[in-house]
Structure 1
Amino acid sequence: MRRSRFADQWPTLLVAALAGTFGVALLHVTGLLAAAIAADEVTGESDTVALMLGIVATVFIVIAVYVSAVVTANTVATVVAGRTRLIALLRLIGSTARAQRAHIAKEGLGIGLAGAAIGVVAGTGLAFALEEIAVANDVMPATEYDYLNAAVVLPAIAVVITTWLASWVGSRRVLRVRPIQAIGNSAEPDREELGRRRVRNASAVVLFVAGLGLLVAGVVWGLTEPYGVLVGMAGGILSFTGIVLGAHVVMPPVLRLVGRALGGSPAARLAAENAVRHPERSSRMTIGLVIGVTLVTTFAVTMESYRTMLLEAQRVQPEVYQGIEEMLNVTIAVFTVLIGFSAVIAAIGMVNTLSLSVMQRTRELGLLRALGFDRRQLRRMIVAESAALTLAATVTGIVLGFGYGWAGAQSLLGGVQGEPAFVLPGIPWAMFGGLLLAAGLLTLVASIAPARRAMRVAPVVALAVE
């Protein structure tokens, strides 16, 4: 039992470690960039550039913590769904739901501590390696930045707290497990049952509307002060939290549309139906990737808008902005690498949940084998299901990211020239193409292990599972 529990918790440890690495590396790299900017003869005299860098770093650290918390909560919820029968057995012999939930939260605390420790070491090493590479290639000058920075404890503490809280939130399913499920089959709630959860649905609507209001307030404040982006960030987090809570309502229609494009073969039709048959399971698998794609798109649109504004200013006043493009390119390149960590965290979350989901559907896969599906059809079904989930999440994330990216650019840059101005959103076409290519690769990666596991299911053994 201990081995089984460790096996289904390593995905959570991986997410916590990546989140810790992201936060610590981002803090170090921000310090390195600040030191390089301060030493530069051109940018060192610009308080605006330093201010923007500090604000952007703050925004990304908060976003990193948020992404890891959501992905961790979804991963824990999937783990709990797979432990339903075990939890029900423990309930049957006298254990309480609260005791089981406390045990899972305690596991989350331990995993958070381990992930934070790994993150401090790995994040510091990554930042040091990036500096050495940048200095060796004359991308940035050598600085006197001190890596023994006590501030790195902050993202580590954030990882511990968020992993613990996310485990507590993700384990709320334990409260709905009944002892009778130990001798019967349990199933994910369907769309009608989820629709009856009025408190959750109402909370999703309230958070989305309130967040949208803050986004508008941030855009308006950004016409005079760049601090409007902080209000906009709060609005973005609130509104996106509403989308996360309502993902079981938002994602099924998108999945249904994508599923129709997969074709009419039995494997494709069954994959499309699987994607919408259990909305909660599908939303857990897709929402992490939606967050990652939204984050990458938001960053790309915001920075492309920033680049366009600075290049236009350089064209008008070349003597003032001479040399700014090189430092801007370095800053964007570094943050692009770092922001990719959030996408990796989200992608790993989807791979984890898809793999766990297939592992928990042994009986379903066995029934398909008994009904005549061969191993090749099962593999096609898993790949098609992965493609539907990945494409739906990618398209949704691009649409949301474009909106959030423009709001971020407008609230950050709307008043940077001393007077209110409308910021045209930059369109990073290369990034959009890269995301679609990455979605295709993720489909293949996410389906490899689940497809192999599905093909090993024997009909007789699967039908014997209760």
Structure 2
Amino acid sequence: MRAATASTPRREHGASILVTALASFFGVVLIQATAFLLDIFGTDGQGAVAVALYSVAMVFVLLALYVASVVTANTFGTIVAGRTKTIALLRLLGASGRELRRSVSREGLSVGLFGAAVGLVVGVAASHLARAIAVGAGKLPDVAYTTVQPLVALPVVIVVGTTWAASYIGSKRVLDVTPIQATGVVVTAASEDSRRRAARTTLSIILIAGGAVLLGLGVLVGAVTPAGVLIAFFGGAASFTGIMVGAHRIVPWVLRVVGRLFGSTPSARLAAANATRYPERATRTALGLLIGVTLVVTFAVAMYSYRTMLQHEFSEESLDQVLTVTVGIMTGLIGFSGVIAAVGMVNNLSLSVMQRTRELGLLRALGFTRKQVRGMIVSESAQMVIASMGFGLLLGIVYGWAAAQSLLGSIAQSGIGLPTLPWALIAGTVLSAAVLALVASLMPSRRANSISPVVALSE
């Protein structure tokens, strides 16, 4: 039975391996870059400087790993949803739900180990290549640089652990699959499942409301001391966690609102209805992009607001170096978040289409043309991109402004001000989202149109 559940197509885990490799790569490069920076500073007073720099580096690493773990959990949740019939058959043959869930989590461990190893090797090589180029160009001094900083093992271990944990969380659906589902009988949701949803909704409201209060308090305290950023951090983390917990309610509602903008053609109406009929599936697909856009805009707004506030108060030459390092790190994290978001959405949309063979075949049998099926999938993709992008932009602006204001509000003499919006980056995000909507729908729509109605209905 273990082999039956573990022998899954490689393409199912391709995105998860890419995500874990990117997360490991980002962490390794950041740790190596910090080591190179300390090599340049020398040994004088390095202890305190090293602690400060590595602490900042780990904050960015943990943020990157948070994004990666959420995308991985969503991916495994989608994979398990597509295996419902196989899992139900194994349950019918005597396998326990916990045994099958452990099998899926072992897949996650394998994915984490392989992806983290790839990221480690490529990260160390890339950091030394970039360092050699910078030294050759005269941008960095020619000193003895650390070959491999032992701390690079930390992000690698965390990547493996978070991927393993994410796969275990994403595989929770295994426990809800009953043996009777193998017979094709429709099983209604249990009352216990309804109670869990109600509890999630209540917890979501509490976290969002409490987080919003802490976020506002952090901004107010930030006007007196930079320690306000700690309060704002916990407020942002709590409120965003609340949005994640209540995403099964929030995301479908946003998708329904956006769906009304796509007209009343059969393809557009059916695409909009899918968010209502399958809220969990729609949420899993849109959540990765929502998280990515929120983080991209948060870091961008915080970075630009941070720069504006500092430039208004200071003019020292050293400030330019601080801003250059800060902008470089945040730009790297912005790029990482964007890539992870794109990979997560494209992968989940593709898996969603793979798991809807029977549904798409039925539409073809009822008279839907290939063009209409393609239009439905493109509409679904576009709706998810627009909804995630719009909601993410709003959240990112609020979080980014709060971060900069709570950290530097006490330094800025002007008090609480408006956020500095990076219009060029926002425009680039909108353009990238439009391209993503098209790219994300190409492969799934091609696969959907290759499905024969007769073959699909026989599955």
Alignment TM-score, normalising by the size of structure 1: 0.88
Structure 1 residues 298 and 439: CA distance shift in structure 2, 3 A: same
CA RMSD of aligned residues (A): 2.9
Q: CA deviation at 1:52?
A: 8.8
Range moving further from structure 2, 390-399 or 224-233: 224-233
> 1:322 deviation in Å?
2.6
Alignment CA distance shift 1:23-1:276 (3 Å): farther
Alignment correspondent of 1:436? 430
Spell out the pairing of 1:51-130 with structure 2 (5 A cutoff): 56-130=56-130
Does the aligned pair in 2 maintain the 1:188–1:280 contact within 8 Å? Answer: no
Alignment of 1:13-412 (within 5 A): 13-32=17-36, 38=41, 56-135=56-135, 144-184=144-184, 197-314=197-314, 318=315, 321-322=316-317, 324-325=319-320, 328-329=323-324, 331-412=326-407
Partner of 1:12: 16
Identity across matched positions, percent: 50
How much has 1:94 moved relative to structure 2? 0.5
Residue in 2 that maps onto 1:450: 444
Q: Measure, in 2, the Cα distance between the counterparts of 1:188 and 1:55.
A: 49
d(CA) in 1 for partners of 2:147, 2:222: 34
In structure 2, how many angstroms separate the alpha carbons of the residues matched to 1:94 and 1:393?
A: 41
Displacement of 1:196 in angstroms is 6.8
Separation in structure 1 between the aligned mates of residue 222 and residue 128 of structure 2, nearest angstrom: 35
Amino acid aligned to 2:420:
G
Partner SS, residue 427 of structure 1: coil
CA distance in 1: counterparts of 2:28 and 2:224, whole angstroms: 32
Q: Which runs of 5+ in 2 are unaligned?
A: none
Q: Which moved more, 1:419-428 or 1:369-378?
A: 419-428
- How far apart, CA to CA, are the structure 2 residues paired with 1:132 and 1:416? 38
Using a 3 Å threshold, how does the CA distance of structure 1 residues 214 and 131 change in structure 2: closer, same or farther? farther
Tell me if structure 2 keeps the 8 A contact 1:26–1:338: no
Stretch of structure 1 that moved more, 261-270 or 350-359? 261-270
Q: Distance in 2 between matches of 1:157 and 1:234?
A: 25
Output the CA distance in 2 between the equivalents of 1:258 and 1:142. Answer: 55
Where 1:261 maps in the other structure, the secondary structure is helix
Deviation at 1:216, TM superposition (A): 3.5
Contact 1:413 1:423 in 2 (8 A): no
Q: What do the CA deviations read for 1:218-271 (whole angstroms, capped 9, x no partner)?
A: 334434443443443333222211111111111122212221222232222221
Instruction: Quote the Cα distance in structure 1 between the aligned partners of 2:56 and 2:185.
Output: 49
Q: Contact 2:64–2:333 (CA<8 Å) still a contact in 1?
A: no
Report the count of equivalent residues: 450
**What 5-or-longer segments of structure 1 have no aligned partner?**
none
1:215 Cα offset (Å): 2.7
How far residue 459 of structure 1 moved from its aligned partner, in angstroms, is: 0.8
Q: 2 CA distance for matches of 1:264 and 1:398?
A: 27
